[in-house]
Amino acid sequence: MLINRLIMQDTFIFNNYLSDALISYWQNFVDTEDKSINIKNYLVFSNRFINRTKSKPLVTSPEKSFSSNQFFCSENIFVETNELVPTSGVIAEITIDKIKARLPDYAAQYLSTKPIMP
């Protein structure tokens, strides 16, 4: 039996201004014993959302994943209200300090980069 194990590691989405947009992890199959994606460090944080309502999730992940303990978010907010944006799936909200501690050195150097306002 062929087992297909794909890998996706170190995905960092941060310091963005997003106008009428969302951040969504998507894959075209559901993880099974025969085929799955091994995800490590999917981090979404410090993003600012403009021109969206809170009626739908704006940071999403799969409803089920073998790597459900690797999807994290923090401080993704609406610019207009400073409220957290809705999320869906297995993504877990953690503190900004915990999310930054998960960043490897090569990525941490970009934390001071200022986003460009659209």
How large is the C-alpha radius of gyration of the chain? 15
Q: With 60 as the cut, is the pLDDT of residue 1 above it?
A: no
Q: How far apart are CA 50 and CA 79, in angstroms?
A: 6
Residue 60's SS3 state is strand
Whole-number Å distance between alpha carbons of 104 and 117 = 26
Q: pTM, whole model, 2 decimals?
A: 0.91
Query: What's the confidence (pLDDT) of residue 100?
Result: 96
**Is 27 a residue whose pLDDT tops 70?**
yes
- Alpha carbon distance 91, 60 (integer Å): 7
